[in-house]
Structure 1
């Protein structure tokens, strides 16, 4: 699973709580005008974002990029649909995997890599409520173990 190697701007913590991430893929984003400046200022929210495949192209929905403060009439719509840059074979693979029951594609991280904004998208399977409780319990137990080991 590739990690977001650049300067991490935003993370979708809700995604790891609500979904089990099966696979992660790095994708470029088509941005307009002052969107990159807003992203560099960490004015982006991934919480309700998702990815859909339409006509052989991947699009990012419900990701909020705030308008740039020093912008003018050329500012963008904060919730507009943005195209993702992926290879055709990656798009086809995501499309076939996402058609399985319970599978979806969610944005995990936004980061800067060589001056470009990249999105780490994950192929995810929805968790049931008991799975969420189990993962929270496991995380709490790990935290307690680390605390005990630290005090030794």
Structure 2
């Protein structure tokens, strides 16, 4: 079998960028079982409720849903089990220090295969307040309206 190359996106947490201010991102490997990898290759996963916990110098991915593999037998995995993240020691220490001092949280942004290996992009994030979310939506709509108006004027419709 030929070795895979490139990046194949499996799942993305679109809601994260709406609910949080992203301050820094990291790429981490995942410790997975065989049926989890097969389920991911089928393109099934959900990062919506996921978060990262740091305990005893290790990083753990929690509440990420990878459904059971349909052709799996008794060797199948739990859908929402704890999964260990593979990060360098200095990355774990940096994340832990910023979580402790600045009150940030660590959330998964996307899950993908990179050169045949499962990776997760995690982010240090600060939660947005409700008024911040409304402001971001209004700003996005204003930019879209300005872009549409400029397009109409360039086409000579007005």
Equivalent residues in 2 for 1:1-152, closer than 5 Å: 6-151=7-152, 152=154
TM-score normalised by the chain length of structure 2: 0.89
Classify 1:81/1:98 alpha carbon distance in 2 versus 1 (closer, same or farther; 3 Å).
same
Q: Distance in 2 between matches of 1:27 and 1:145?
A: 39
Q: Distance in 1 between matches of 2:20 and 2:69?
A: 32
1:24-78 deviations in whole A, cap 9, x for unaligned?
0000000012101111112100000000100000000000000111111111000
CA contact (8 A) 1:102 1:126 kept: no
TM-score normalised by the chain length of structure 1: 0.92
Structure 1 residue runs without a partner (length 5+) = none
CA contact (8 A) 1:35 1:65 kept: yes
Partner of 1:34, secondary structure, is: helix
How many correspondences in the alignment? 148
Partner of 1:138, secondary structure, is: helix
Structure 2 residue runs without a partner (length 5+) = 1-5
Partner of 1:59, secondary structure, is: strand
Q: Distance in 2 between matches of 1:12 and 1:23?
A: 16
Once the two structures are TM-superposed, the CA of residue 101 in structure 1 deviates from its matched residue by 4.5
Classify 1:146/1:72 alpha carbon distance in 2 versus 1 (closer, same or farther; 3 Å).
farther
Once the two structures are TM-superposed, the CA of residue 126 in structure 1 deviates from its matched residue by 0.9
